[in-house]
Every structure is written in C-alpha cells, then in structure tokens.
Structure 1
Amino acid sequence: MFVIRPIQEKDYPELLKIAEESGHGFTSLPVNEELISNKIKRAEASFKSQVSEQPEEHGFLFVMEEVATGKIMGTSGIESAVGLEDAFYHYHLGKVVHHSRELNIYNTADILTLCNDYTGATELCTLFLREEFRKGITGRVLSKFRFLFLAQHQERFSSTVIAEMRGVSDENGDSPFWQWLEKHFFSMDFPTADYLTGIGQKVFIAELMPKYPVYVNLLSEDAQAVIGKVHKNTEPALKLLKSEGFSYKNYVDIFDGGPTVEANIANIHTVQNSDLYTVEIVDALDSDKNIIISNTFVEEFRATVAKTKLDQEQKIITLTQEYADILKVKGGDQVRAAVLK
C-alpha cells in the first residue's frame, strides 16, 4: 500500500538519492544539493499558491511513499507553465524543398530548427520509480495520478500538456546526437551540458547553438538514427503516454534528440474518464478492479490506488477507513477517481 503526496523538506535526503540513481539525461533532477533543496522549497510554495488568472511557473513535485515503512518509492512532477522565466528550447523537425524546374530536379530535406514553441505549456516531468519498486502497477500509478490532479485543478494549468522523453545515450552518458553538436559547436560533453541545463544555466544554448536550421543529412549517421527515439528505459513511459492520447509532433530535445509528446488537457484519457465520487465507508472492499483515487485538495493532496467499486449512476465510491485515512477524507467527502487501465 502506498500514498502519493506533495514533497516536503524532510524528503530532501531521499530526493538527493533519487537524483543520483536516475543517471545521465534526467535533466529535471541534477545531482546538486542546493538546487534540490530549492526545488523542494519551490514545490512547497507552489502547493500553497492561490489560483491566478494566468498559469504561473509553479513546480508541483510529488513523492510516492510506502505506507508500512515510510520509504520513498519514487517521484513525479508537473510544471504548470514552462519557459516564462527561462527560455525553453526545442528543435522542430521540418522539411525544406529544393526544386529546379529547368533541370527537373525536386528534392526534400529534413531540417532541425531551434524554437521556443512550447513556451507556456504544462509539462509532465521528473518521473522516476526506484528499481526495487518497479513491479506491478506502481509505475503506471506514479505517472497517471498526475492526470487526476490536472483534471481537478485545470485552472492552474495550460491547455497544452507536454512530456519530454529521454533520448538515446549509453551507460556513460554519451549521446550520439550530442556528439555531433559537441564536435561542431560546443566543447563540452553531454553530461556537462545536460547538468548545466538542469541547474538553470541555459545562456550557453543561445550563445553556442547554431542559429540557422540544421540539415539532418549533414549530421552523422549515428546522430540521424536517434532523432525522435527514446532511451530503452523510457520506452514504457512513452507507451503509457501514447495510450493516454499523447502524440509526437516532430519536436525533439536539443541535446539528445529525444521526442517530446503532447496532448490537449481535455483529451487526455484519464482526465476524460475521471469523475467526482462521494465516499462511502465500508468494512471491506470486494472488487478486482484497480481504481486510482485522489482527494480534491492542493496543499494536502493525496492519491493512491485501491481495488474497489465505482457506482457510476449514484457517483459513489466505497472505501475502507484505512484508505480514507490515507486520502485524508471521511464519509460524505468527494474524491476524484478513474479506472486504472
């Protein structure tokens, strides 16, 4: 049994360990003690924030905690609006046509153009489940609970929701895509560039990145091969997001070439299929259906999963007192819930 809750200052040691375990390419959680401490403080402030007319650049960071032991199993986050304070870069993969009527030659070429097209979008980020807990449904829940939070508090977020997928790199952190950029435009390796971005030092991107579109066929074959491809450890996360209605619109990461996927918040399957239900306390649950459940709070947000029943007509959900306590609700309160598919 586990609970997902907002991160707290007491979680700092575990979050630092998670940053170390996550490895290269996990840009949103670099191994930097000051930054991780500030990340927790920012998250605490975000959960306490009031709703504004426009989405602000808040960072909602959650942890999954094992109820019996208090162990932190993983983390997951949402950035409400990216790029409002620091530039948010992508490459857009497009095409250019070279055509000569006189010579009857017609060629198309793929090009990568540096852009800030996702400025203001909401980003799903910082998803990491520790290896010992990677079994059963925990990974799916750690990703999907965020859609209940988005559904319940849509006024805090953009209509466009994105997720950057980790691109291809080896166990040493070497990225084929970055190696080409490093050779021609930068003098630093991929882990260093990735780390600098993670701690917010992005000026070097504008200073050193090629200002004009890059013809893909000028890249090395290894670099071309990984554009829009994900790291092997990221394949399950991408599959899950695609099942929720996210799609790839030819935007890739500027460092490793990994794909960014997007969806309209109203079209995300779990958002569409979730609803508010009134809690009814029972002695025991009798169902084989996994239901992902969250309360309706922000600062005191809690989420979990239970094998229980949803009465679709009367909008009632049955919970034992143990689950109600985990969710910080009581009989008669409302929760948001959806079937975990």
Structure 2
Amino acid sequence: MNNFPKLHNATWPGIVGKGPDSEPVIPFDDLLKYTANAEVNGVRFDGVDLGLLDPHINIEMSDDDIKRLADKVAGYNLEIGSLVAPIWAGSAMGTAEQRKVFVDMVRKSCHIGKVLRDLGIRPSGIVRIDSSASPHDWEKDPAGNTRLIAQTFREACDVAADFGESLAAEGEICWGGMQSWRTMLDTLEAVDRANIGFQADMSHTFLYLLGYNREEDRILPADFQWGDRAALTEGLKTLTKALRPWTLDFHVAQNDGTVFGSGSHDKTGRHCQAKDPNGKLDVPNDAGFWLRDESGQLTKKFRHICWDGCMFPNAVMTNPQTWNDILETMIAVRERHGWYE
C-alpha cells in the first residue's frame, strides 16, 4: 500500500460556520479524538491541519503553549501539517492599518509553524491565507485592489520567508481577487515571490468551473448539463492546467454543484459528505487532475493531503461513520495517486 501522501484531517470545520448565529463550536479535543479513532482496514489518519483560530488555538500563545499543543496532538499519534492564519481582523486590500494587522497575523502564524517544525511534529505544510475581502468590494476597482492585495501578500511572503515558510492563497469564490481562476492567477502573478502559491480544494475550486461570483471567467458552457462527463473532464483539465503549477497544498472534498454558507461564513462551494449521492465529482479519479501532470505522471508535490469539510452540521461531524467514510475516500485517492517510501 502507498504511504504517501500522508492523510490529514482539518480541525477548522469545528469552528468555521459555527458560533452564536449557527451551531456550537466543536471542541478541539473532540476533533482530535474523531480523527484518531477513525480506521479503515487498519489504516488511520496520519495527521491534522490546524486553523489557528479561537477558541481552539490562541494566536498569541507562548512557545511553552506551542510545545503543549504539539504534545497534545502527538498524544493522539498524529502529526501537524498546514496552518490557517487568522488574517480576518485585517484585509489585504484595506487601509494601511488593516494591511499591517494582516501581515502581523501571518508573522504570528509563521512563528507557530516554525516552532512546530523545530519540535519535529510538523514535517510538511504551508500557511494558508486569503484576501479577507469580498468579491463585491474588489469589483469596485479590480486593478487597484489587485495591486493592493499583491502588495500585502508580498509583505506577508517576505515575513514568511524569514521563518522558512510558504504561503498558499485559498481558491475560494467568496474572497475578492481570488473568486475565479483568472483573478486568482492575476493575483498570484502580481505578488512575484517564490514562496507564494495556491491552495486547491476540490469543492471550492470546482465552482471556478461554473463562474460563480465571476460569470465571465466560467469554464463550462452556460448550457452545461451535469450528465456530460466528457465536458466536465475537459473543464477540470483546463482548470488544473492553469493552477496546478501554483498549487502548494491540496484538499480532498466533494461538491454537489451548489454554494452554501452558515453562521457568518459567506456562501462558497458546498462541502458534501464523502459519499453524498448528489456529489458531482468522482473524487478518487478527479483528485488525479491535481496530483498528476498533463502527461499523467505523479508530481509527488504534496507530502500530505487534507480533507476539508467545513459547514457540515454538528450531527454529521460527531458521527464516527462520517470520519470512516472520509478516511476511506482519502485512502482511495492515495492508492490511485500516491507512492511508497
């Protein structure tokens, strides 16, 4: 059996879309238990990717607190991978003060990442960012706002480089300057730093095909029918050819072709359960468009891949079968597009 890429679960779905205006946050320790307890034919998750978000994790934690975090995760026989920087108190295209806050959050996240690397519990991973701005606000001045985002991302990249970290911009349709595959490429190219890249999520990036929030950039024709698998395949090839060279981090996910939001989270590509009958993706097959190059050769670019299931109801997330189904899907992806070391 292949043992790479390592299989990770995400912790931020216990927070994103939760809260007073939705369902209660799922405690961090509970998510670690669900992850560690999942098992399919003797295979378990190898690690977790962390959202550095209250109430799970305090971005102001001391180095001693980071060590305690590492010990806690290691106690479940899990590694730590990619980190989500809590940049939303700022904005990459906001005022000078907002952009300063944005970069400072990246600095604090990179510090945590480096300490975790030095402790030996984080062998791979990036720090995830977004523009922390809406497509509506970005559309007021696309060229000017893209320049501002790129400037902020450059400053953040320079900070990250001091810690030996790379940043990955999340391909999600709810972020201004990142809401389509073309705007995402324009933003990344404008940053002009070696340690910037793209975070591909099979659910979020799927909506790029349909032009949500940027109709002029849709890839599939306006009269596309879901039964046309050939057209869908060609669309995925077009999308991944453009963004794969930039991709530093990869999320396995399912999508039913719709958008969804809960709590304070804007509508974005709906994360479906791994075995949702309404899912439009052939997950093990379609992951290959990201994990293999255009000639079909493995890129081996990602030492780990992660499942992202944001905004699932708590009844779903607290059901152990959910995590076994996810793990089974992740194993299928690795068996088709992984390798052994």
TM-score by length of 1: 0.28
Which is richer in helix? 2
Which is richer in strand? 1
Higher Cα Rg: structure 1 or 2? 1
TM-score by length of 2: 0.28
Higher relative contact order (CA closer than 8 Å, sequence separation 6+): 2
